[in-house]
Amino acid sequence: MNTRTTAAALLAAASLALTACSSSSDSSTKSAPSPKATASKAAAPAGLTAKQAAAKLADATGVTTLGNPTDNTSACSNKAAGKEPKANDCTQLITTDTVSIYEYRSPAVAAHWVKGMKSAGDWRQVGRFALAWTARDQKLTDDSRRAELVKALEKATANES
């Protein structure tokens, strides 16, 4: 990923992290549940990781790599950034030239982020994962390729409970 793409991906991830900390004056918008001490110490979910998902998506779409896979977990996880963990933190974030793959503890947390980030670009939920196309190079990924990536991740996570 070139410097501009990396900067754009980090900016998008930083916006995501800041959104988690902001409050909404719109009473119809439900905020995420406040973190509990037990939630911050919960183990990562068993099953596929975002890093493994990136490799599987590349393989499923017939390429060696999705383009410069980079672990940017500290952009969406307070724990990874050395801060107090929050219940809605990501478990792992892998950014590539093609797509950003966010891994969350549960489908409910992934749904929260996808719903909240739709205004920032194309975000799609697959179980406890979110796929996002918000960085400059990622925006060049056409709709048919995006749909192919979603289907491939659905297949890769089909056996997760």
In this prediction, residue 102 carries a pLDDT of 98
The crossing angle, in degrees rounded to 10, of helices 107-117 and 3-21 is 110
Q: Report yes or no on 71 lying in a domain.
A: yes
Task: Give yes or no for residue 25 having a pLDDT over 50.
Answer: no
Domain that holds residue 145: 3-19+48-156
Q: Report yes or no on 38 lying in a domain.
A: no
* Confidence bin at 38 (pLDDT 50/70/90): very low
62 token code pair: 């017939």
In this prediction, residue 160 carries a pLDDT of 80
Task: Give yes or no for residue 4 having a pLDDT over 90.
Answer: no
Q: Report yes or no on 132 lying in a domain.
A: yes
Q: Report yes or no on 24 lying in a domain.
A: no
Task: Give yes or no for residue 128 having a pLDDT over 50.
Answer: yes
- How many folded domains does the chain comprise? 1
Q: Report yes or no on 149 lying in a domain.
A: yes
Q: Report yes or no on 25 lying in a domain.
A: no
In this prediction, residue 161 carries a pLDDT of 59
Q: Report yes or no on 31 lying in a domain.
A: no
Q: Which residue has the higher pLDDT, 104 or 16?
A: 104
In this prediction, residue 69 carries a pLDDT of 96
What amino acid is encoded at 56 in this protein? K
Burial 113-134 (b: 16+ CB within 10 A, else e): bbebbeeeebbbbbbbbbbbbb
The string of pLDDT tens digits covering residues 75-97 is: 999 999 999 999 999 999 999 99
Q: Report yes or no on 42 lying in a domain.
A: no
In this prediction, residue 43 carries a pLDDT of 54
